[in-house]
Amino acid sequence: MRRLISVSAAAALAAALLTSSALAKGVTDAMITGPGLDETITLSGEGQPGSLQLYTVVEAAGFYPGVFERSPNPMLADRPRGELGPRYTIAYTMQGPNNE
Helices 2-25, 51-60: inter-axial angle, 10-degree rounding: 120
Q: What is the mean pLDDT of residues 46-74?
A: 83
Q: What is the mean pLDDT of residues 10-28?
A: 52
Q: What is the mean pLDDT of residues 73-79?
A: 88
* Residue 99 placed within a domain: no
Q: How far apart are CA 72 and CA 46, in angstroms?
A: 27
Which has the higher per-residue pLDDT, 76 or 99? 76
Domain range holding 51? 2-94
CA within 13 Å, CB half, 26: 18
Structural domain count, the chain: 1
Q: With bands split at pLDDT 50, 70 and 90, how would you rate the model's confidence at 14? A: very low
Under 8 Å between Cβ of 16 and 8: no
Report CA-CA distances (Å) from 74 to 41, 64, 84.
27, 10, 19
Q: What is the mean pLDDT of residues 81-98?
A: 89
**pLDDT above 80 for 65:** yes
* Residue 100 placed within a domain: no
Question: Residue 64 in 3-state DSSP?
Answer: helix
* Residue 85 placed within a domain: yes
